[in-house]
Structure 1
Amino acid sequence: MPDQPGRRPPIPQEIAATRVIGIGRRLEPSSIMPVAQALVSGGVRAFEVTLDSPGALAAIRILANHHSDGSLLVGAGTVLDVASATAAIEAGARFLVSPHTDSELIRWAVARPIPIFPGAFTPSEILAAWRAGASAVKLFPASTVGPSYVRELRGPLAEVPLIPTGGVTAENAAAFIAAGALGVGVGSWLIADGSPDLIRQRAAQLISSLQSATR
């Protein structure tokens, strides 16, 4: 069974410690570095580049090379199959995020081992992802149900680490953590329509909010 001890890829410390994954969706490679630097300055340590972005693999490669010192953990999002996962890892991604639960993709990641966060919504989907070997499960879209849904899931599925994603902001992120989520994935609120200085301010605000929720 994929979730035997020692088989499940561990959750990276950069995510476990800060409780957040920044998400860059449809960013041009030329603009990715200022965004990443702003996130790091604000305290975010993990950054997901979605593969539906123009030049996503080039952006991952640029970020991975620049942050080889460990200042930022670079991952790939919107990973739909093994082929795209392979390309992302070859470009330098160190974790994978998908919008769905694909047992073949999860098993591929587990065998390497590469941390993988498949998307799921219902209890059945969440449990299927976990049993396949997911490091944690991306609860998506989280904004449609809110923190109360996480709290209710923690009853029967207490062993499954959840990362709510979709519609997460500094205003509701702490509530998701207080409800029992491992962390949150934050994209539009954190990055959209923001200068590097504004992104840094938002990142710092988000980190502060999450730290308050865990005290």
Structure 2
Amino acid sequence: MDLRAALAAHRLVAIVRGSDPEASLRTVLTLAEEGVELIEVSLSGADALSVVERAHAALGGDRPLGAGTVLTADDARAAHRAGARWAVTPAVGDGVGAAHALGMPVLAGVMTPSEILTARTLGATALKIFPAAQAGGPAYLRALRGPFPHELFVPVGGVDEAAAEAYLAAGATAVGVGSPLVGDAADGGSLTALRERARAFLTAARKATP
């Protein structure tokens, strides 16, 4: 998949991490029904590889799933076998190069300029500023865009609806959103509430699209 184009077009990455595999699967499918195009299933969730595999079977190739919290080369290979077509890491580690070698675009977690350079060398497609709130928020993103004007930045961590709009206005290509969007849906909570939150975040993303 062309992750760069998808991030620029859709502006929103939903992060699903749940304690209940069945609820996590329902969450992925509900987000897809609401029009969320980029969905990442974190490998730190319960039975996450099964969730990826079953969601991939249900959605098919029209909605390529991402696997998150890819820490190691083994994580990357397992996610690829399960059907994930792009990878997300929380940091610059072995998972970045391994996923890239498998042909998976990588959204690599970075915080510093040195990590940005390392991630780019390893083949990262885009850069996840994580944890974004602790890194300094939209002001830090603006500072990074000075020396790295052509990189695709995706702030993740503490991004609620208002923060999403602020990051996108500050030049983020997209935002990654976990609990402010998913809430408790992946633990068995309300799918109706999930749909409402998804619509709100989609509206924020569309408002920021040029």
Q: How high is the TM-score relative to the length of structure 1?
A: 0.89
Return the offset for 1:10: 4.0
- What one-letter code is carried by the residue in structure 1 that aligns with 2:199? A
Give yes or no for the alignment of 1:164 onto 2:159: no
Return the offset for 1:135: 0.5
Distance 1:13 1:63 in 2: 22
Corresponding residue for residue 81 of structure 1 = 72
Distance 2:36 2:7 in 1: 9
Q: Deviations over 1:40-89 (max 9, x none)?
A: 2332111111111111111100100000051x331111111001110111
Corresponding residue for residue 153 of structure 1 = 144
Distance 1:211 1:91 in 2: 31
How do residues 118-137 of structure 1 correspond to structure 2 at under 5 angstroms?
Answer: 118-137=108-127
Distance 2:82 2:148 in 1: 34
Give yes or no for the alignment of 1:115 onto 2:108: no
Q: Deviations over 1:163-209 (max 9, x none)?
A: 10001111110111111111111001011235111111111111111
Which one of the candidate residues 196, 201, 208 is aligned to 2:196?
201
Distance 2:56 2:121 in 1: 30
Corresponding residue for residue 179 of structure 1 = 170
How do residues 46-57 of structure 1 correspond to structure 2 at under 5 angstroms?
Answer: 46-57=38-49
Identity %: 38
Structure 1 portions without partners, runs of 5+: 1-8
- What one-letter code is carried by the residue in structure 2 that aligns with 1:64? H
Give yes or no for the alignment of 1:58 onto 2:50: yes
Return the offset for 1:30: 1.0
Q: Is the 8 A contact 2:159 2:176 kept in 1?
A: yes
Root-mean-square deviation (Å): 1.6
Corresponding residue for residue 11 of structure 1 = 3
- What one-letter code is carried by the residue in structure 1 that aligns with 2:205? L
Q: Deviations over 1:91-150 (max 9, x none)?
A: 001111111102x43332223311111111011111211222100011000112111111
Corresponding residue for residue 5 of structure 1 = none
Distance 2:131 2:77 in 1: 25
Q: How high is the TM-score relative to the length of structure 2?
A: 0.91
Q: How many residues align?
A: 205
